[in-house]
Amino acid sequence: MTDSSVIDDEQDVPAEAPAQHADMPDTPDLPDAPDTLQAPDVPEALNAHVAKWSGFLADCGSLAGQINPYQHAGRLTRINGLVMEASGLKLPLGSGCRIMVPGGNSCEAEVVGFNGEKLFMMPTDDVVGLAPGAQVIPLETTPPRPTTTERLEPRRRASDRAKHLPVGDALLGRVVDGAGRPLDGLGPVVTRHSRSVASRAVNPLLREPIRRTMDVGIRSINSLLTVGRGQRVGLFAGSGVGKSVLLGMMARFTSAEVVVVGLIGERGREVKEFIEQILGAAGLARSVVVAAPADTSPLMRLQGAAYATTVAEWFRDQGRHVLLIMDSLTRYAMAQREIALAIGEPPVTRGYPPSVFARLPQLVERAGNGPEGGGSITAFYTVLAEGDDQQDPIADSARAILDGHFVLTRQLADGGHYPAIDIEQSVSRAMHGLVKPSHFDLVRQFKSLWSRYQRARDLIAVGAYAPGSDPQLDLAVNMFPVLETFLQQRMDEREGYEDAVMKLHQLFGATP
């Protein structure tokens, strides 16, 4: 037998199992191994952590992909009044630009029109030092920094490419200009949130109806001209009749959680007086003041009004009830008129071009209620009536797009009647859906007596009125001192909604 046969014989012999020791227990039968291996359970906290950081890295990658490796630039070719012309750039309307000034300084501008290859721009800063051929560099909208707490929303709309300005709780108690820069000397505004100043209005079918009253702390308004949350009201008045004092009383006494004040086109002295004397420290603590005085460019005045509305929209989206006060809507329209006439738009009504009347509803419609169960913006816009003319085109247009108008007359102000609200000419269009029928009947009775006395005022003054000839007029004459006292209120006196309605019922001996 060869060696190979020996090896084959040894391989054919099965190996004997080792003998089990007598003292060793029997080995239990092991279960068969599974066909596939199962991954260990991953805690939900770990999955959330991975998802959070995956989203953060995705946002970082998205922002990195938006970086433009080239910087385009144009040249300044002409300055004609307020309008600057540039060539070499193709930018959409509303885009921001920076014009370089020799010496390292710069001037910011915004595209307001174009003609062929030429861009028409309007400056937001001083144009001193600009020279022909100055470099014009487009300003890119700065995206927010990615965080692990919330995902970045994609910016696909045209408004998303417009200028973004800071918003957030850090603005409470601050005074800023139309570009979000602080004016109060308290340091920079530190907030991570920003929002486009050209945002769109809420879908009208998604708005919550005006169902709840808004307490503004003014007796005559709370009782006779009741305002609801989300209502937009105009204060129509000439100069020097106390509208700024009335706005300050609303800002201090309102039940709203946040107050946003837009001082557009006012004198610089009035801005300081309104903040320190009328608004006060207590009112400023829960307020945001956006000031674009009369000495700023018309573009900055437009941007200031839009920025104040943008800040109010952000607080509304957080579920808060906001009171927006804008003084004044007329200065906003005048700023748009300056820009439109400068770029060649023809005037149509008292020097106002058509774009003015298109801009007004775009601004006003952004205020109001949000979706059901959310926040609200109750807005008061002052409208200057030149020479106390209530048929001014801006006043007439504003009266048509607002939810009510309160008229302040010089006759009442000259007689020491404050607030100088003319009850006869003032209307709150949402009042009938806010108050009880008994309350509304008392309002009609109050206005009837007040109007009856005003029509017979001249007869009473010359002694031609004979008591007993008209019982309704007799009642109006007897109650007029009480009615007049009811309408007057000191600037440091607050009258809540419930108290005002109670006093109205007591005036006529009715039960609430």
Q: Is the pLDDT of residue 37 over 70?
A: no
Interatomic CA distance for residues 256 and 278, integer angstroms: 18
| Distances 190 to 163, 168, 194 between C-alpha atoms, Å | 18, 9, 11
Residue 25 has pLDDT above 80, yes or no: no
pLDDT-derived band at 511, boundaries 50, 70, 90: low
Q: What one-character-per-residue DSSP string does 173-232 give?
A: TEEE-TTS-BSSSS-----SEEEETTPPPPPTTTBPP--SB---S-HHHHHHS--BTT-E
Of 42-56, 89-103, 185-199, 495-509, which gets the smallest average pLDDT? 42-56
DSSP state of 26: P
pLDDT at 193: 86
Does 340 score more than 80 pLDDT?
A: yes
pLDDT value at residue 125: 81
- In terms of phi and psi (left: phi > 0; alpha: psi -120 to 50; beta: otherwise), the region of 381 is beta
Please report the DSSP string for 232-275 in residue order.
EEEEEE-TTSSHHHHHHHHHHH---SEEEEEEES--HHHHHHII
Q: Are 140 and 92 in contact (CB under 8 A)?
A: no
Q: Whole-angstrom Cα distance, residue 509 to residue 272?
A: 45
Q: How confident is the model at residue 7 (pLDDT cuts 50, 70, 90)?
A: very low
Cα–Cα distance between 212 and 230 in angstroms, integer? 9
Ranking 177-191, 269-283, 301-315, 344-358 by mean pLDDT, the lowest is 269-283
Tell me phi and psi for residue 235, to 5 degrees: -105, 105
pLDDT attached to residue 153:
59
H helix count then E strand count, the chain: 15, 17
Burial of 274 (0-12, 13-18, 19+ CB in 10 A): buried
Instruction: Please tell me the total number of residues recorded for the chain in this structure.
Output: 512
Query: pLDDT band for position 41 (50/70/90)?
Result: low
Measure the CA–CA gap between 224 and 295, rounded to whole angstroms. Answer: 38
Note the pLDDT of residue 355. 93
Q: What is the mean pLDDT of residues 360-373?
A: 93
Place 102 in a pLDDT band, splitting at 50, 70 and 90: confident
- Distance (Å, whole) CA 199 – CA 299: 17
pLDDT at 406 over 90: yes
CA distance 245 to 291: 17
Residues 6+ apart with CB under 8 A from 272: none
Lowest model confidence (mean pLDDT) among 26-40, 141-155, 488-502 = 26-40
Q: What local confidence, expressed as pLDDT, does residue 240 receive?
A: 81
What pLDDT does 45 receive?
62
Q: What is the pLDDT of residues 161-220, one digit of tens each?
A: 678 899 999 999 999 999 999 999 899 998 888 888 988 889 999 999 999 999 999 999
- What is the mean predicted confidence (pLDDT) over 373-399? 86
Task: Kindly tell me the sign of the dihedral angle through the C-alpha atoms of 59, 60, 65, 67.
Answer: positive
CB 233 within 8 A of CB 402: yes
Convert the pLDDT of each residue in 208-258 to its tens digit: 999 999 999 999 999 999 999 999 999 998 888 888 889 989 999 999 999
120-177: pLDDT as tens digits: 999 988 888 888 899 999 887 655 565 655 555 555 555 566 788 999 999 999 999 9
Mean pLDDT of 489-499: 93
Q: Model confidence at 279, in pLDDT bands (50, 70, 90)? A: confident
Q: What is the CA radius of gyration of the chain?
A: 35
pTM (two decimals): 0.81
Quote the pLDDT of residue 151. 55
pLDDT score recorded for residue 233: 96
Inter-CA distances, 352 with 93, 180, 359, 384, 401, Å: 21, 29, 12, 15, 17
The distance in angstroms from the start CA to the end CA of the chain is 127
Pick from 34-38, 96-100, 171-175: least confident = 34-38
Tell me which of 56 and 90 has the higher pLDDT.
90
- Cα separation values, 3 from 6, 11, 12, 510, Å: 5, 13, 15, 129
pLDDT digits (tens, 9 = 90+) for 408-454: 999 999 888 999 999 999 999 999 999 999 999 999 999 999 999 99
User: Residue 4's pLDDT is what?
Assistant: 43
| DSSP class of 8 | H
Q: What is the pLDDT of residue 343?
A: 87
Q: How far apart are CA 179 and CA 301, in angstroms?
A: 10
Q: Is 230 left (phi over 0), alpha (psi -120 to 50) or beta?
A: left
Task: Of 11-25, 273-287, 355-369, give the range with the top mean pLDDT.
Answer: 355-369
